[in-house]
Amino acid sequence: MTSYVLRRLGVSLLILLGASFLVYQLVALSGDPLQEFRESTRPNKEALMAQRTALLNLDVPAPVRYFLWLGGAVKCVIPGQCDLGVTLQGQPVTQALGSAIPSTLQLVAAATVLAIVVGIAIGIVTALRQYSALDYGVTFLTFLFFSLPVFWVAVLLKEFGAIRFNDFLADPSVPITTVVVVGLVSGLVWALIIGGDLRRRLITFAVAAVAAGGVLWYLGATQWFRYPGLGPALVAVTGVGIAIGLSALIAGSQNRRALYASLVTVALALVAMFALRPLLDRATFPLILLLGVLAVGAGVLVGYLFGGYDRRQSMRVAGLTSFLVAGLVMLDRFMIAWPSYFTQVRGRPIATIGSETPGLGGDFWVSGLDKYTHLVLPTLALMLISLASYTRYSRASMLEVMGQDYVRTARAKGLPERVVVVRHAFRNALIPLATIVAYDIGGLLGGAVITENVFSFKGMGALFINGLSHQDPNPVMGTFLVVGITAVVFNLLADLAYSALDPRVRVKA
């Protein structure tokens, strides 16, 4: 095993060297670093050209210049000695990377996690309803999103998700046509998802349409969009829904202890919602993190105390329920801060550029809202276009597993369908996805160059494109190095994880 890993690392190093050489040459060939001076009529342009030539060593041919760069870059193996050169503005590249990486992670992490969770969920559901209208509809939509160019999606999202939505918020009354349309669409979607015979579909359609339309109308009529909130009642109802749903899915509806455990955590969360209110008003990020851990801990504890023949199942259900309900409580607290945030940004809350409103004063909740309103559109854009591959892979993988003999055996011995799907099929269907997720994380740091550019995010992508457009090789190479190393490392991890997850492909060493 060790020799395999070492061999892989050795090969990766050579690949990195070769690739970095190629990239360096391509950047050097991409244009003329002195162009901005050549068209200038300034009397001192020759001096400026000489300064730039000295800064970038332009008098050295590019293939040789690469080794000058490499000389600094190899020092990165010694901590604190890293020398990746400076940008044209004289900022060390290591420093520029240091601020770009967190910014990129902020942008891409949420989108990636959401795309994975939603994509897998959609994939499983469509696999279970193979060749149904739902399957075809979802396939059509995901491929539609997949094939849309991101800069165009971004422009549309900004126009409708930000500009028009903000216009709507200025006078948040929902016209009756919107109510009807949203109701009909919601009815259609739910009827497709739940399925069944015609009668059942019609009932689902009617209920969902009336519910969605009614809720929307009510929210519009009560100015909810201007002064949103959940209140204890909605938190309680949703919490109970989560508790019932999760225990049915994970533990099965016959496992009453799991259900009771999760219901108790919902009750506890409601108590905490009131008890913690003064504390939450002065919240900081570490406090929220701590409360989140405590919530999960409390849930697990409740599950443990309820015990029963399968204690771990109760603990899992209760812990997860507790986490989600704590999320609801947080959401409610954010909504309380909304009107104050709304006035601070002059009534235009959803942002189209950047990662924060400069100069915004406010507590944890207001600045948190500011982060969300800036992240929501780019996250949505990135998620929509990367959803397709996850739904496809998980659908295919699920279908393959569902057709295997052991699934038939499981059914034959009388297991409920839920157990067959969740416990026997789903877990094995996830194994091939591990590889894809690892690859994606490798690409994650590279940033979404176009998305960052369109949304004016200053991450790795911006660093890369900015360097490239000014023929500034050092930041481009810095970005390449980070991305290349992550890609190589995560590919290796993917292979190792695969062999750990699936004994059939374990390397014999």
Partner 1 sequence: MKIRRASLAVALFATGALVLSACANTPQDEPDGGSSASAGAGGGTLTVAETNQFSSFNPNTSNGNVDINSKITTYPTRAWFNYVDGSSFAAGDPKVQKDESFGTYEVVSEDPFSVKYTVNEGVTWSDGEPVDADDLVFAWAVQSGHYNSESGDVTYFDYAGDSTTLGLTDFPEIGEDGRSITLNYSAPAADWEVAFAAEAPAHVVAKKAGLADGQALLDLLEAQADVAPTATADNAELRAVADFWNTGYDSTVLPSDPELYLSSGPYIVSDVVENQSVTLVPNEKYTGDLKAQLDTIIMRTIPDATAAVQALGNGEVDVISPQSSADTLTALKALDGVTLHQGDQLAYDHIDLTFNNGGPFDPATYGGDAAKAQKVREAFLKTIPRQQILDAIITPQKDDAQILNSQLFVPAQASYEDSVAANGSADYPGEPDVEGAKQLLAEAGVTSPTVRVLYNVNNPNRVNAYTLIAASATQAGFVIDDQGDAAWGSRLSDGTYDAAIFGWINSGIGVAGVPQIFSTTGGGNYNGYSNSKVDELAAKLVVTLDTDQQAQIQEEIDPLIFADAYGLPLFQSVGLDAVGDRVSGIDDYNPNQAGVWWNVWEWTVND
Two structure tokens written together for 386? 């990367």
The least CB distance from residue 365 to partner 1, in Å, is 13
Binding to partner 1 (CB under 8 A): which residues in 26-65?
30-32, 34-35, 38-46, 48, 51-52, 55
Q: CA distances (Å), 16 to each of 180, 285, 486, in order? A: 57, 38, 11
Helical segments of 345-472, H only? 364-402, 405-412, 417-419, 427-444, 449-454, 460-469
State which residue, 121 or 156, has the beta carbon closest to partner 1: 156
State which residue, 42 or 413, has the beta carbon closest to partner 1: 42
Stretch that binds partner 1, among 107-115, 137-145, 453-461, 488-496 (CB under 8 A): 453-461
Among 81, 130, 173, 343, binds partner 1 (CB under 8 A): 343
**In 3-state terms, what secondary structure has residue 258?**
helix
- Count CB neighbours of 91 within 10 A: 13
92 strand-pairing partners? 86
Among 353, 500, 505, 507, binds partner 1 (CB under 8 A): 353
The least CB distance from residue 467 to partner 1, in Å, is 12
Taking the C-alpha atoms of residue 277 and residue 273, their distance in angstroms, rounded to an integer, is: 6
By the rule CB under 8 A, 201 interacts with partner 1:
no
Stretch that binds partner 1, among 5-13, 214-222, 391-399, 498-506 (CB under 8 A): 214-222
The least CB distance from residue 233 to partner 1, in Å, is 4
Among 188, 249, 331, 335, binds partner 1 (CB under 8 A): 335
State which residue, 37 or 260, has the beta carbon closest to partner 1: 37
Binding to partner 1 (CB under 8 A): which residues in 236-275?
236-237
State which residue, 18 or 31, has the beta carbon closest to partner 1: 31
State which residue, 44 or 253, has the beta carbon closest to partner 1: 44
Residue 36 phi, psi (nearest 5): -60, -25
Question: Residue 484: which residues within 8 A CB-CB, separation 6 or more?
Answer: 16, 19, 20
Two structure tokens written together for 74? 């190899």
The least CB distance from residue 165 to partner 1, in Å, is 10
State which residue, 253 or 343, has the beta carbon closest to partner 1: 343
State which residue, 359 or 503, has the beta carbon closest to partner 1: 359
Two structure tokens written together for 506? 């374990």
The least CB distance from residue 116 to partner 1, in Å, is 28
The least CB distance from residue 311 to partner 1, in Å, is 31
86 strand-pairing partners? 92
Q: CA distances (Å), 445 to each of 2, 115, 376, 402, 485, in order? A: 27, 16, 19, 35, 10
Stretch that binds partner 1, among 123-131, 171-179, 346-354, 420-428 (CB under 8 A): 346-354
Two structure tokens written together for 44? 């001192």
Q: How many residues make contact with partner 1 (CB under 8 A)?
A: 83
Stretch that binds partner 1, among 16-24, 89-97, 127-135, 421-429 (CB under 8 A): 89-97
State which residue, 44 or 173, has the beta carbon closest to partner 1: 44
Residue 336 phi, psi (nearest 5): -65, -35
Taking the C-alpha atoms of residue 507 and residue 308, their distance in angstroms, rounded to an integer, is: 40
State which residue, 286 or 359, has the beta carbon closest to partner 1: 359
State which residue, 72 or 172, has the beta carbon closest to partner 1: 172
Among 454, 460, 482, 494, binds partner 1 (CB under 8 A): 454
Stretch that binds partner 1, among 122-130, 230-238, 259-267, 320-328 (CB under 8 A): 230-238
State which residue, 5 or 244, has the beta carbon closest to partner 1: 244
The least CB distance from residue 150 to partner 1, in Å, is 12
Task: Give the CB-side neighbour count of residue 263, counting CA atoms within 13 A.
Answer: 8
Among 218, 274, 285, 406, binds partner 1 (CB under 8 A): 218
Picking from 248, 297, 266, the residue whose alpha carbon sits closest to that of residue 417 is 248
Taking the C-alpha atoms of residue 281 and residue 481, their distance in angstroms, rounded to an integer, is: 43
DSSP 86: B
The least CB distance from residue 238 to partner 1, in Å, is 9
The amino acid at residue 15 is: I
Among 281, 356, 363, 417, binds partner 1 (CB under 8 A): 356
Among 453, 460, 477, 479, binds partner 1 (CB under 8 A): 453
State which residue, 230 or 429, has the beta carbon closest to partner 1: 230
- The H or E element containing residue 85 is none
Two structure tokens written together for 384? 């929509």
Binding to partner 1 (CB under 8 A): which residues in 113-172?
151, 155, 158-159, 162-163, 166
Picking from 352, 396, 398, 345, the residue whose alpha carbon sits closest to that of residue 369 is 345
Two structure tokens written together for 234? 């909605």
Helical segments of 171-197, H only? 176-194
Taking the C-alpha atoms of residue 475 and residue 93, their distance in angstroms, rounded to an integer, is: 6
Picking from 292, 289, 321, the residue whose alpha carbon sits closest to that of residue 306 is 321
By the rule CB under 8 A, 327 interacts with partner 1:
no
Among 280, 462, 476, 487, binds partner 1 (CB under 8 A): 462
Residue 92 phi, psi (nearest 5): -60, 140
Among 8, 201, 423, 458, binds partner 1 (CB under 8 A): 458
Binding to partner 1 (CB under 8 A): which residues in 98-117?
99
